[in-house]
Amino acid sequence: MDIIIKRASEKDSQNVGRLFDLYRQFYSYESNINLSIDYINERIQKSESVIFFARNDENQTMGFVQLYETFGSLDLGKIIVLYDLYVVEQFRKKGVGRKLMLESHKYAKSINAKRIQLSTATDNFAGQSLYESLGYIKDKDFYKRTYFFLLLPNNYKLLAINLYKSVDLMWHIAGDLSTDFNFYTKRMILAGVYSSTVLHYINNNSILETEKKLDENLIKISKI
């Protein structure tokens, strides 16, 4: 499959806007195609962002990336904020996201930007894996601050509630229908695995290494 990367102009607002609406839904926002298209069109019209989109040889729009230019005082120059990156589900794991990222790198270099800054959801592991493979380093201090906040005495209840919700959802997705004592046992075991994996992630520079650690933990509990 050929992946063609182009910079979006006003005539591309409709196609990119529809993907932008899907992107917002991915982050749990309600769908609003008209407003999404208007937002993209306005950013392009006013030259307030730079958007690249990917299409295939069948002229299907597969994904997009949106960049905002700003300045970094400590960098003494321009920086790029990569705010939006989205690939349509059917085209994921085909190199589309990587191509969009590489095009963003080329653009940043062309305007002599000091660096590219980006963020993503903490549970967007596919995105994090892509960024790390391109040399990006996660801000571990952010994770540490978040978890240290949850470990404060006044926040134990919040930590317990969110931990339970997370492991309960995992078991539901896995198809667990137990209603006896196993219901609680399974969630206690998974809570331990989940917690140790998160702590390993905070103290490790690679999500790939964390995945290996998770596999090791799962093998251990499978023998219980």
pTM: 0.61
Minimum mean pLDDT among 12-16, 40-44, 89-93, 119-123: which range? 119-123
- Higher pLDDT: 38 or 162? It is 38
In contact, 38 and 20? CB cutoff 8 Å? no
Which domains are assigned to the chain?
4-137 (3.40.630.30), 141-222 (no CATH)
119 pLDDT tier (thresholds 50, 70, 90): low
139 pLDDT tier (thresholds 50, 70, 90): low
- Confidence (pLDDT) at 38: 95
Element (H, E) at 52: strand 50-55
The token pair at 219 is 């093998």
